[in-house]
Structure 1
Amino acid sequence: MELSHLRRFSAPIWAVLIGTLLTRASFFMVWPYMAVMLHRNFGLSEIEIGIIMSMAALGGAVVALYVGYLSDKLGRKNLLILSCLAHVATFMILAEADQSWLYAAGALMAGVSRAMLEPPARAMISDLLPEIPVREMAHQVRYYCINLGAAFGPLLGLQLGFTGVQSSFYLVALAYLIYGICFVIAFWRIRNVQQPPKNNQNFSQTLRVLANDKAFMMLIVANTLVMYAYLHQETSLVQYLNVLGDRVVPLFTSMITVNAGVIVLLQFPVLKLLNAWSLYQRVYLGVALFTAAFVMYGWIPLDAPEWYWLAATFVLSVGEVVLFPTFNLLIDRAAPDHLRGAYFGAGNLTSIGVSLAPFAGGVILSWFGGPALFLSTAVVLCFAGYLYTCSARHHQKTQTVQAA
């Protein structure tokens, strides 16, 4: 990862990166407090709130697949600008909603709008950067921008008094409006640049291509299992720690701080150390670190010193630094030039794992307890590691056949 690669980024790439940082930071100033608003304003239960949030994730996963296909068929530019306008409308609705069904509709629209933005944006990065090292750098920087926004957005929201304030959704709408304007300016600057090849297949034919790519489908299933596991650290773990009473808030805050610190400070140094490793070798390391972290969570007694929990979180965070940026790179390597949008859209199916984790975590916690949840999660990760191995073998076999 060479910093000199940054000079190769064109205006639309910088629009994606700067817009990602701006919108993710403003989004995370507000969105984590969505549950507070729903409970305070409408008295919804935890289950009802969970259903609304899961609906947003699942709606986005379904739509992303078709939007990715459309971006291959119609081009990225108009879809990216339209998605920004859809975000503006979404968060204005959330800012004005005075009934619970409007909040539910806004949450669903937020998932759909994000699905309209993510696949075309990631595909466009690959379209405009033909050199693989430069392309990989752009995907790494984009992931870093997402993490910066996710790490500091909630803290800024807390400092600015946005916790549970409905009108703060207007700030997110403004951020996406600026993002859309940046796209318009950037696309005008490259209006004469040659566009990538278009997808001449219909949607059902595109789905058959995806389904027949066994290496890619195993990769998506493995990514979904990893996301399912990771969400237990964000949702189920804090429920498990609630029995600590007054200790849970400072402890979980410290864990969030460790996670954010590792991601912000260590992402590029760690990836520099692993520069000579293949993408699948990095995946194996990331999955191994995730597995070790959840085994640690399952083994740690509730009355253990705080540093035990922080050590496990550190291991998980290093695994995240290694693993999550590699997801996009693997999808990018798997996708044909004319189907990049469809492949990145299919990559959003990992949201299924995100939506299932809170429900499954609550059930396992209630019936079997925390150690059983975390150790079973480690088993799920081992299966994901097996699927990555199978995916790598199929990918290698396909390359061998094509070379012959």
Structure 2
Amino acid sequence: MLTSFQSIKSRYTAPVWLRFFGEMLTSLTGAMMGPFMVLYLHEQLNGSVMIPMLIISLQPFADICLTLIAGRVTDRLGRRTAILIALLLQAAAMTGFVFADQAYVFALLYVMNGIGRSLYIPASRAQIAESTPESRRSEVFAVINAIYSAGLTAGPLAGMLLYKHNPVWIFALDAAALFSYFLVAALKLPETKPIITAGTPAFSGSFTIYRPVLLLLLLSLPISMLYAQTETTYRLFSKNMFSDYLSMLTIYSAVKALFSFVLQVPLVKATEKLSMKTILLIAYICYALAAAGFACSTSLTMLLVTAAVMTVGESIGLTHIQTFISTLAPPHLLGRFYAIYGLHWDISRSIGPLAGGMILTSFGGEVMFYALAVCILAACLCLTYTIDRLEQKVIRKMNG
């Protein structure tokens, strides 16, 4: 038994175990808030549709403005410093939500949280890549996603109970979790940023070095746009699809998270020998089917089938692409590559809620999700013609 425990412990490095702990701590409280944030703002702001969408768009807009700076910060100051600053900012923002009651205050807090996210995401991903052998990176990213999904399984159920009692408790618990993560990280998190030698350039003078990650960013936009709609406008669209929409949203969020928790690591391990082209082809087809599923799901069974298909796509595609980016990036630009790629989430979450809200009110949710399915398939076709060149670039880098 002790030998088995030591084997599991030695499988991952200290930064990876700390990330597991932080993800476990914050995913549950974050999941309590996720499904209900739009509804909370909708109620707090007198039933407005567009103002909550505008406020929610401010966080990713702040991310867009700060992400490239954040990538430079994490590459210069180090992963540990960036992570600690990020956790403090996010904890302060969640604390502010406990007391907020005006639209401009919600907006300011969303911007603060966006700054924290823009620092945390590239720094934490770069740290995982630097502290994990390449052969095990996809596995580590999959375990992190599985832990996050475990929080998503229980979070919405607990969140619904707290939301009905007093929504501010959700923000208070999230703030406490983030601050606890900060304290443990301050005491235990080592620095993993590689030492820059005299021969390593601090900046890349050629814009062409970023072309591969910019291409991946562009072709990932339809995927993140789908997520942006499921996180915002679908909450309102579901009111017309289901009589007890709040329960349906809660069940969907919990079951999808359970699917991800159960399937994430097995799917990643089963596909790690496939080419990146095959992996992304499977993932994009699953996402297109899921987008169509959201448009036509009128029963719980159809909605859960949609959740299962989307889980397969994200388990395979989103996990392997994190490892792929770590092989594309020069070591001294790893934080910036992750930051640049992460922009597709920020772009979609910035313009997605407003665009989705306009389409929803003008044409209906069915049109919006079917259009997304078409866009995802178009991006898939483009990707199949370009990913081979990127894979060859990785092979040349590894061989030379």
Pair 1:196 & 2:194 matched: yes
Q: How does 1:259-298 map to 2 (within 5 A)?
A: 259-298=256-295
Find the counterpart in structure 2 of residue 352 from structure 1.
347
Pair 1:22 & 2:25 matched: yes
Cα distance change, pair 164–33 in 1 and its aligned pair in 2 (3 A): farther
Find the counterpart in structure 2 of residue 57 from structure 1.
60
Q: Are 2:139 and 2:268, in contact at CA under 8 Å, matched by a contact in 1?
A: no
Find the counterpart in structure 2 of residue 342 from structure 1.
336
Note the alpha carbon deviations across 1:324-378, whole angstroms, 9 max, x for none: 2223122222111111111111122022113333333333334334443222111
Amino acid at match of 1:341: G
Which of these residues, 105, 109, 119, is aligned with residue 102 of structure 1?
A: 105
Q: How does 1:156-175 map to 2 (within 5 A)?
A: 156-160=158-162, 164-175=166-177
C-alpha distance in 2, partners of 1:13/1:276? 23
Q: How does 1:50-199 map to 2 (within 5 A)?
A: 50-129=53-132, 131-160=133-162, 164-187=166-189, 190=190, 195-198=193-196
C-alpha distance in 1, partners of 2:15/2:156? 27
Cα distance change, pair 79–399 in 1 and its aligned pair in 2 (3 A): closer
How many Å apart are 1:218 and its aligned residue? 1.0
Q: Are 1:215 and 1:390, in contact at CA under 8 Å, matched by a contact in 2?
A: no
Which residues of structure 2 form unaligned runs of 5+?
Answer: none
Find the counterpart in structure 1 of residue 326 from structure 2.
332
Q: Are 2:91 and 2:178, in contact at CA under 8 Å, matched by a contact in 1?
A: yes
Q: Are 2:156 and 2:250, in contact at CA under 8 Å, matched by a contact in 1?
A: no
Note the alpha carbon deviations across 1:268-315, whole angstroms, 9 max, x for none: 2222322321233211101111112333444x485xx54334323322
Which of these residues, 359, 365, 377, is aligned with residue 364 of structure 1?
A: 359
Query: What is the number of residues matched between the two proteins?
Result: 391
Q: Are 1:27 and 1:172, in contact at CA under 8 Å, matched by a contact in 2?
A: yes
Q: Which moved more, 1:235-244 or 1:120-129?
A: 235-244
How many Å apart are 1:87 and its aligned residue? 2.1
Amino acid at match of 1:196: P
Q: How does 1:207-226 map to 2 (within 5 A)?
A: 209=206, 212-226=209-223
How many Å apart are 1:24 and its aligned residue? 2.3
Cα distance change, pair 42–314 in 1 and its aligned pair in 2 (3 A): closer
Find the counterpart in structure 2 of residue 395 from structure 1.
390
Amino acid at match of 1:227: S
TM-score (norm 1): 0.85
Cα distance change, pair 262–124 in 1 and its aligned pair in 2 (3 A): same
Q: CA RMSD in A?
A: 2.9
Q: Are 1:19 and 1:179, in contact at CA under 8 Å, matched by a contact in 2?
A: yes
TM-score (norm 2): 0.86
Find the counterpart in structure 2 of residue 376 from structure 1.
371
Q: Which moved more, 1:138-147 or 1:92-101?
A: 92-101
C-alpha distance in 2, partners of 1:10/1:375? 44
| SS of residue paired to 1:213 | helix
How many Å apart are 1:384 and its aligned residue? 1.9
Note the alpha carbon deviations across 1:18-73, whole angstroms, 9 max, x for none: 11221222223235443444344453622111111110122123322211111111
